Structure 1
Amino acid sequence: MPTQLEPAVPRTGAGREKLLAAALDLFAERGVSGTSLQMIADALGVTKAAVYYHYKTKDDIVLAVVSPGMEELAVIAGDAERKRSRAAQVETVLVGIVDLIVRNRSLYAVLQGDLTVAHILSEHMAFPELGTRLMALLAGPDPDPGTIVAASMLLSGLREAGFGPRVASISDEELRGHMLDCARRLLRHRRPPAATA
């Protein structure tokens, strides 16, 4: 049975929502390690004590920022796991992840390549397990090395393709179409490599 992703801290209240929005903007601009609690407080026009009232550490803020996206990924994985055919499982994962990324470009700017975020998430059991579930859904049972490489490239590439100056001017609808097209082509059945003598 999949592990449930529990929010690290409550995510209700206008003050918390404003704080998380300001933190996300700063994380996307400066990275998590380049953002201090004082910077978040300054962006909100409040004291650092006001930030501490809602969250005791920056790690708590990071978890609160990324948890909704991770929770949605867990729902996508659960929906895919209930599909009977492998093709339906893969399509559910692809459409779900692409839609999530396109709707949350700033969040994925934070997740992509930020070693601080990767370290924080790695310490929470549900997050690594979620990555394992998604990889298993994309690669299938007993995958050959080529399929493992393709699924790994896909998961990394989708995050990269969803944000940044190269894609900033592309509309959400067009970006979604291109991402799905590329993802489907990458996972299309390939011939095994020829045996060498």
Structure 2
Amino acid sequence: MDTAPPDDTRSRILRAALERFAEQGYQRTSLREIADRLRLTKAAILYHFPTKEHLVLDLVEPMLTDLEGLLVEAGRHAPERARWVLVEGWIDTMLRHRRSLGMLFHDINMLSHGPTFQRLMRIAMRANELVAGPNASRRDQVRAVQAIAMCSDPVVFFDDVPDEVLRADMLDGPRRLFADDPPARTGGAPAATDGPPAPADGAPRSRAGAAVEVRVEATGAGDGGRSATRPGPGPGGGRRRSGRPPAMSPAQVATARRMYADGAHSADEIAAHLGVSRATVYRHLAAG
């Protein structure tokens, strides 16, 4: 869990900004509100942080630094061990920076199109590669993206669960995902689930089912640059399931970038407007 920084003015500003961004979003929080909360002048805020962007960079820097260190550490191991060093370390990092992750989850737009956004994308792509392993098939890449989501989303949605309890629960998901022999169905009956079945179009049942993070689509060299999250034929060679398109037309890309640049629309709103997934929106924004 995030450790409270020393009680100096700069640290107080960062704490107040993190609270406001997590509560009501980056776009709706002004420097004046942060100043009023601390009974400071706006000039005092600007002395330490010339813009809101500077505040955000300071808030996410510790988490990004930890994730980059984790990538280096995992990369030192053989592929199978690297996967679990990455998975366990990713969960530990997300738990250590719970509030920062919640802030990003609330409004990823706060990172804009700058180098920090690109840095986050590179971290996510490298994490997907390490989890998927060398010579990964498309299905391996899909499972890697799913695993990273398992290591992020619950931290936001179960913020009242103690770290050690949630960590154990979160590790259970990737272990099941990568099990060599998943439990077989018996007697012809459907496997039991903890909730209602997912919709036929593959859309998540709720917001909790979406990938958070780092929610980036991995691209596999062996698939000719196709997105790792693009659905493919089933085992029987049947048609791909219907759902939101995995790519956008040039006109849609231009619309998405214009809406994003306006600063008035979240990635969720852009995705809903264009009828695509949020991950697809992120992929095209990152490529801009």
Q: Normalised by the size of structure 2, how large is the TM-score? A: 0.58
For residues 32-62 of structure 1, what are the alpha-carbon distances to aligned partners after superposition, in whole Å with 9 as ceiling and x for unaligned? 1121111111121101111100111111111
- How has the CA–CA distance of structure 1 residues 41 and 187 changed in structure 2, closer, same or farther, with 3 Å as cutoff? farther
Question: Who is 2:245 aligned against?
Answer: none
For residues 70-104 of structure 1, what are the alpha-carbon distances to aligned partners after superposition, in whole Å with 9 as ceiling and x for unaligned? 00000000000111x21211111111111111222
Q: Does 1:98 align with 2:91?
A: yes
Which structure has more RCO (C-alpha within 8 Å, separation ≥ 6)?
1
Q: For residues 16 and 161 of structure 2, what CA distance do their matches in structure 1 show? A: 24
Structure label with greater radius of gyration: 2
Q: Does 1:71 align with 2:112?
A: no
Q: For residues 118 and 128 of structure 1, what CA distance do their matches in structure 2 show? A: 11
Q: Does 1:173 align with 2:164?
A: yes
- Checking the alignment, whether the CA contact within 8 Å between 1:147 and 1:187 is kept in structure 2 is no
Question: Who is 2:52 aligned against?
Answer: 58
Q: For residues 70 and 81 of structure 1, what CA distance do their matches in structure 2 show? A: 17
Question: Which AA in structure 2 matches 1:180?
Answer: L
What secondary structure sits across from 1:112 in the alignment?
Answer: helix
Unaligned runs of 5+ in 2: 183-232, 239-288
- Checking the alignment, whether the CA contact within 8 Å between 2:60 and 2:100 is kept in structure 1 is yes
**Structure with the larger helix share:** 1
Quick one: percent identity of the two aligned structures? 30
Question: Who is 1:5 aligned against?
Answer: none
Aligned length: 184
| Alignment match of 2:101 (pick from 105, 108, 116) | 108
1:98-137 maps to which residues of 2 (within 5 A)?
A: 98-112=91-105, 114-120=107-113, 124-137=117-130
RMSD: 2.6
Q: For residues 177 and 59 of structure 2, what CA distance do their matches in structure 1 show? A: 30
Q: Normalised by the size of structure 1, how large is the TM-score? A: 0.82
Q: For residues 111 and 176 of structure 2, what CA distance do their matches in structure 1 show? A: 28
Q: For residues 121 and 110 of structure 2, what CA distance do their matches in structure 1 show? A: 13
- Checking the alignment, whether the CA contact within 8 Å between 1:80 and 1:92 is kept in structure 2 is yes
